[in-house]
Each structure stands twice: as C-alpha cells, then as structure tokens.
Structure 1
C-alpha cells in the first residue's frame, strides 16, 4: 500500500519561514537602542510635614536616652564591681564582664573610667548659660580617662575640644590632640611631699577597692603620682586619688609612728581576728591621736604578741 506523502516537513518549514522576519528585525532593535530618544522624567515633590510639639519633645527625650546610654552602662558596671554583685557566679569582676557582657577587661574599665570623667565634666564645666555639648560615648573620653589630669583640667580639655570641633561634640582624635598639647605645656609640680599624711580616694582605681577612708604616709613622690604607705601595704596612686590631711609636722610624726606599729601587727603570720578589727579601725581613723582606751588596746595587743615598741624621737 502506497504511503501518503508526509506534510509535517512542509509545516515545519513554513513555520521557520514565518519566524524569519522576527530574527531579521533584531539588528534594527539594537541599532535603535544605540540611539535612544530623549525622555522627559516627571519628579513629584513630596511634602515633609513639620514635627508637632509632641513629636519634638519625644525626639529630644529619645536623643538624651541615646546620649546617656554609655553613662548608665558605666554607672551600672561601677556598682556591680564595687558591691561585688557578681560574687555568686564569678570569681572576679573581669571574668563576669567577659562572660556576661562580652567585654574585655579594658573595655569594662574604659566604660567605668569614662563615667567618672563625665561626672567630673558635669561638676566643673561652666554653668553661666553657655550650652556645652556633652559626650555621647566612651570613645570620645578614652584619652581623658587615661590621662592623669585633675577634674578641673579634664573640663578645660573638653571645652577646648568642643571649640575646635565648631561647638559640636568632638571626636576622640580632637580630644587626644588637646590632651597632648596640655601635657606638652609646663608641668604643674606634684603638690605632695614625703612624710605627708593623706587619705586614699579610690575613685575608679580597682586596686583601691575597699580602701575608702584609709590614711597613709607618702613615701615616694613622682610627676603625677605618689606611693602611700598604709597599715596593710603600699599603694601607688594618682595625685587626684589622694587628699592631704594638712597636719602639723608633729602630728605627721605621730601618724608615721602609728603606721609603723600597725604594719608590725599586720605582718604577724597568725593573729586573732580581734587584731584585724583593731587594725581596720585605726587604719581608717585619720586623726593624729588615740583615745585612752585605743592606746591601751594597742599596747595590750603588742604585749600579747611580744612586740616591743619604743617611740622614736
């Protein structure tokens, strides 16, 4: 039986013929794109509504919260450290900050130090109606916190940095430049002298934790620091972390002798807890005398431990 001629090929060829004009037009499209016609774009203006009084107040409140965020963090860290509120879970404050907040030791103490500087600025910046921008993060205060400057000098540095920044909040680099210039200027001599009796002011120094109210004898005077000898050890502190009792020479001599006696008791390898109570009490009594009972108690403890004491002249 003869097969009917197939028409599939004809149909296919016809389709291919019909598609040809489309492929032929492609170059024309490309050439049209090479020479695009100019177009007009209409821009619609969007009206920006002014803030209402309520929105403006809310904005100011939120901005203040952002600005004070680092200050509140530093204050909280300071209280956590000073009251040892980490002691139930961590051995040291540094371990606690690292595991709880992800802060390194330097980062945690920078926040605390910056908080102390901020509080100094609040106290010592002029309040004659001039609005001076305050810091908004601890990085702006990094170099002020590290510099050994008096609180009044810190305020002066910040004021100069604000002026250099065009009466805006200065960057840490600007603050550093001002600090460097002040340090290059003639240095103010250390006001303390060897043999002077001073109080410890711990402030932001972690090494002085729990030493508030301790008195000691100045045994070394440096450019920006002193070594203070107390009943339980020697402490090298910045000059702003100590305060002179301004005693007469004979009163200083009495306190020097008393410090020696207390240190001898503290150095006893094994001593009764009552001795520690006496040491802590007298070590915080910044007065150039002992009451009759205090003198008797001290002498009795010295006899108990066979410590002979002869007052030097």
Structure 2
C-alpha cells in the first residue's frame, strides 16, 4: 500500500518521467543513463511504487542491482575524467579507468591534472613477471621410482586480435601518450607518436598476432 510519505510531488513525477525517458532512449549513451539512474537512486524517486532501488531496476529495466551500479560508476568515472580534459567514449573504458578516476577525484582540484598523468603512467608501466620458485629436490624412496616425464611447457593464451581498445591523452607538452589493449594484453605506446603512426603500429601488431595464431 502506498503511504503518504512515499508519494511523489508533481515536480518529482515530472523529473522521474524525464529521467526514465533518458534511460529508455540512451542505450548507447552510457553517461546519460548512469547519471539518470544516480538521480533516481539519490532522490529515491522510485519510492512511490517500489520499496528498494534494486526492485525498481529489476522490474522496470530488467537490470540487476550490480548492473545498475556498474553503469552509475561508469558515468561517475567519465564525469571525473572530463574535468581533466579526457573524454571516455565507452562504458568498458570507464570500467578500466575507474582506479585512475578514483585517484583524480581524491586529489585537490589544482593537482588533478598531474595526479591523472601520474596514475596513467603507473597504469602503463608493465607489471614485472614474478620470480621463478625453486622447488627443492626430493630423494627417491626405496624401491626406486621411475622419474616422471617432463611436463609440457604451458602455452600462453593468445590475444583475441579482433578485440582492441585504445586509450590516449595529451600530456603537458601536447604530445599523445597512452596504451592499447589487444585482447587482455596491455601494450604501452611510445611517447610523441602522431595518430597515424599509432594506427600503423596497431595494424602491425595485429598482423604479427594473426601470423602467430596461424597454424
């Protein structure tokens, strides 16, 4: 039963209708969808017909609670990075740049640009491979056991060459910096490359990966 305290005012109903229109039309504009969901959640504009935000998302949009929060987080990330001159084009990029945006948002306004560049530099630094673990030898028990056959060397998974994500930004000197994901592998880009040089580098890298994948 609807209680008086949960009834929306005329202004709230108009706002809810406008926000839901944005969501229904904005499947390709994740920022607008995420911001609309955030407003509905923050102001509890769902309260007249639903007890919780989770119930609202499930029954109106057929989204889980996690999916709704994922879109709200992506919109927040894009909004924070826009303040330092970075445009996030896709929700996937926003998810991957969330740690960078978190560091930027926590910094004073005057330092956010430098914090962004530092966080991006850290993200582009390859993680060193862990040192091999030396396994102590074990003496054979009596009776002697046949030595086990040498296990086959593990084969590293190949990148999906059709799955490419490129992240670029201009540093203080105006040159391009960034990194590229091919599949799940991250490749730092050389500083100072022009856009056509970056495109040519990606094309060469894809060609090399396709050759490796050819039996």
Structure 1 or 2, whichever has the larger Rg, is: 1
Q: Does TM, scored on the shorter chain, surpass 0.5?
A: no
TM-score band w.r.t. shorter chain: 0.3 to 0.5
| TM-score, normalised relative to structure 2 | 0.38
| TM-score, normalised relative to structure 1 | 0.27
